[in-house]
C-alpha cells in the first residue's frame, strides 16, 4: 500500500460538534496507525455561511483534542483556479458540457416530469448544443446513460448504483464556483488522498464522485462510510440530547483525552475494553472493528469516562488542565507541591475539572465562608470545648493519620461527644462545608498555621452565636 493519506474537510459554517470530531478522530487514528498523513481542508465555498470565526473555532477544537494535522489547512475558496483547470479539461475532452437553462426553465421542466410520473432530473436539453463557457452558464458532467456504478466500501462491501438514477449534474455553478461533488474530488486527487472515511450520510454522494473520478481518468480512493451518531432516543444527535460543541466540553471541564476515548468508543470497539489512552487507540484502531449499527450518544457515559480519566491522571498533569479554571485564584502564591497534594485529595471525588475547582476552593483561599446549614448543624456550643482543646494541642500534635485518629478518639471520650460530631465540626471549620476530602489529609495539607487560623475563626463564630 502507498502512504496512507486521510483528510478532514469541515465546512466552517458552525463550531465542531461531536459527530464531526469523531469523523476527524477516525481519520487521524487511521493515518497515525499506518504512519501516514492527516490533512485539514476547509470546504468554504459557501460564501454566505462560512465565517473566519468558525475556522478558528474548529482549528482550536482539533488542537485541544490533540488531532494535529500534517498538511493544511487548505481552503477551497483559495483553490478556484485549480477547479477551473480540471473543469476546462473535462469540457475540452467532451466529458462535460455547458448548459444555459435558466432556473425558471429548470423548475418548469421539473414540474412537467413530475406530472408525467418521471424522476425530476435534468433532461439533457443542452447536452448536444456544443455551448462554450459564458457568464450565467453552468458546466454539467455527461453521465453515462446505462451501466452500474460500483462503490467498494471498506465497511459495507460492494454497493451498486444504477447510472440511470443520476442526471447530468452540475460541476461549476453559473457564478463559476464548484459544486461540492466536483471540488471534493479535485481536492482529493490533488492531495493524493488514499482513504475517505466519512459519515454514511455521504454514501449517496459517492456514485457521483466516482463518475467524476472516472471522467478524469483517476482511480478513486478507498471509501469507508461510518454510521452516524444518534441521540439516546435514536434521532439524529442534537443539542436537545445534551450534545455540545467540542469547545463547550472543554469549558465544562472535560479532559481532551477523555473525550477522545469516548468518541472512539462510539461505534468502535476492541474486545471488552472501555478505557483507552491515545497511544492505545493508535496501536489498536482498525476500520474492521467499526460497528455498522449507528452509535448512540450517552452523556452519562461520557461523564463517567471523564471521571475515570480524572481519577487516573497524574495530578501534575491535571494541574496543567486546571489552569484556565483557576483564574479567580492567586495560584502563583502556592507552591506547586501544595497544589498537587490538594488535587490528589479531590480527584477521586470529582467528574469534571469544574467540579474539581469547586472542591479545591477551601485550599485556594485564605478566608473561607461557611455553608449556612452546615455551620448551624455542626458549629455548636457542644463542640466548643473540644475545638478549644484541639487548638491548644495543635502546635505539638503529630499529623500522621493514626496519631490524629487516636488523638480525636481520646478527645471525644474526654468531653463526652460523638467522634462524628467532632469530625464534622472540624471539617466545617477548615473547609466551610460538611462534605470534603478526608479530614486527616486536609489537616496535613493545609498545615498547622492555616488550621490554627481557621479554628480561631470557628471558635469566634460559635462564641457569637
Specify which residues 75 forms β-bridges with.
42
Q: Which three cell numbers stand for residue 315?
A: 495530578
Beta-strand pair 222-226/71-75: unpaired
Round to whole Å and give the CA distance between 442 and 115. Answer: 79
239 is catalytic: yes
SS3 236: strand
Biggest CA pair distance of the chain: 107
Q: Prior bond to 73 cis, omega within 30?
A: yes
Round to whole Å and give the CA distance between 136 and 95. Answer: 20
SS3 225: strand
Q: Which of 51, 111, 119, 239 is catalytic?
A: 239
Query: Nearest Cα to 252, choosing from 314, 298, 297, 299?
Result: 299
Specify which residues 332 forms β-bridges with.
none
Is there a contact between 421 and 427 (Cβ–Cβ < 8 Å)? no
H-only helix segments in 134-277 = 180-190, 206-215, 246-252, 256-264
Which residues make Cβ contacts (< 8 Å) with residue 362, sequence separation at least 6? Answer: 368, 430, 431, 432, 433, 436
Sign of CA dihedral 312, 257, 5, 39: negative
Query: Nearest Cα to 379, choosing from 462, 264, 293, 261?
Result: 462
Query: What element of type H or E holds 229?
Result: strand 229-230
So which residues are the catalytic ones?
Answer: 239
Amino acid at each position: 500500500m502507498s502512504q496512507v493519506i486521510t483528510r478532514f474537510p469541515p465546512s466552517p459554517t458552525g463550531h465542531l460538534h461531536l459527530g464531526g470530531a469523531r469523523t476527524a478522530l477516525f481519520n487521524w487514528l487511521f493515518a497515525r496507525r499506518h504512519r501516514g498523513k492527516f490533512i485539514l481542508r476547509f470546504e468554504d465555498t459557501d460564501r454566505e455561511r462560512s465565517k473566519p470565526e468558525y475556522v478558528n473555532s474548529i482549528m482550536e477544537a482539533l488542537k485541544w483534542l490533540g488531532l494535529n494535522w500534517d498538511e493544511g489547512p487548505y481552503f477551497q475558496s483559495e483553490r478556484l483556479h485549480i477547479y477551473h483547470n480540471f473543469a476546462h479539461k473535462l469540457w475540452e475532452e467532451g466529458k462535460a458540457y455547458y448548459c444555459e437553462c435558466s432556473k425558471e426553465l429548470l423548475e418548469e421542466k421539473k414540474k412537467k416530469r413530475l406530472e408525467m410520473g418521471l424522476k425530476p432530473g435534468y433532461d439533457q436539453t443542452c447536452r448536444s448544443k456544443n455551448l462554450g463557457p459564458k457568464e450565467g452558464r453552468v458546466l454539467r458532467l455527461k453521465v453515462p446513460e446505462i451501466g452500474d456504478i460500483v462503490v467498494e466500501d471498506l465497511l459495507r462491501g460492494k454497493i451498486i448504483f444504477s447510472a440511470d438514477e443520476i442526471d447530468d449534474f452540475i460541476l461549476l455553478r453559473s457564478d463559476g464556483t464548484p459544486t461540492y461533488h466536483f471540488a471534493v474530488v479535485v481536492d482529493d486527487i490533488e492531495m493524493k488522498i488514499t482513504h475517505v472515511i466519512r459519515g454514511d450520510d455521504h454514501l449517496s454522494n459517492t456514485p457521483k464522485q466516482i463518475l467524476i473520478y472516472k471522467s478524469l481518468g483517476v482511480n478513486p480512493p478507498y471509501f469507508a462510510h461510518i454510521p452516524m451518531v444518534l441521540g439516546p432516543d435514536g434521532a439524529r444527535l442534537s443539542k436537545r440530547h445534551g450534545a455540545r460543541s467540542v469547545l463547550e466540553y472543554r469549558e465544562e471541564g472535560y479532559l481532551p483525552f477523555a473525550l477522545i476515548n469516548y468518541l472512539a468508543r462510539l461505534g468502535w470497539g476492541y474486545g471488552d475494553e472501555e478505557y483507552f489512552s491515545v497511544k492505545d487507540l493508535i496501536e489498536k484502531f482498525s476500520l474492521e472493528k467499526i460497528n455498522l449499527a449507528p452509535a448512540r450518544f450517552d452523556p452519562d457515559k461520557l461523564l463517567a469516562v471523564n471521571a475515570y480519566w480524572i481519577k487516573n491522571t497524574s495530578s501534575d498533569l491535571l494541574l496543567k488542565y486546571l489552569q484556565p479554571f483557576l483564574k479567580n485564584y492567586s495560584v502563583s502564591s502556592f507552591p506547586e507541591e501544595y497544589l498537587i497534594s490538594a488535587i490528589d485529595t479531590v480527584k477521586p471525588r470529582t467528574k469534571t475539572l469544574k467540579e474539581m475547582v469547586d472542591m479545591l476552593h477551601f485550599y485556594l483561599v485564605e478566608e473561607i465562608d461557611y455553608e449556612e446549614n452546615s455551620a448551624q448543624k455542626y458549629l455548636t456550643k457542644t463542640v466548643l470545648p473540644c475545638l478549644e482543646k484541639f487548638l491548644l494541642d495543635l502546635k505539638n500534635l503529630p499529623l500522621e493519620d493514626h496519631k490524629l485518629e487516636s488523638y480525636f478518639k481520646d478527645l471525644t471520650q474526654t468531653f463526652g461527644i460523638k467522634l462524628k460530631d467532632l469530625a464534622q465540626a472540624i471539617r466545617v471549620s477548615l473547609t466551610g462545608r460538611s462534605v470534603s476530602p478526608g479530614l486527616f489529609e486536609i489537616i496535613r495539607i493545609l498545615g498547622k498555621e492555616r488550621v490554627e487560623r481557621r479554628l480561631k475563626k470557628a471558635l469566634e463564630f460559635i462564641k457569637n452565636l
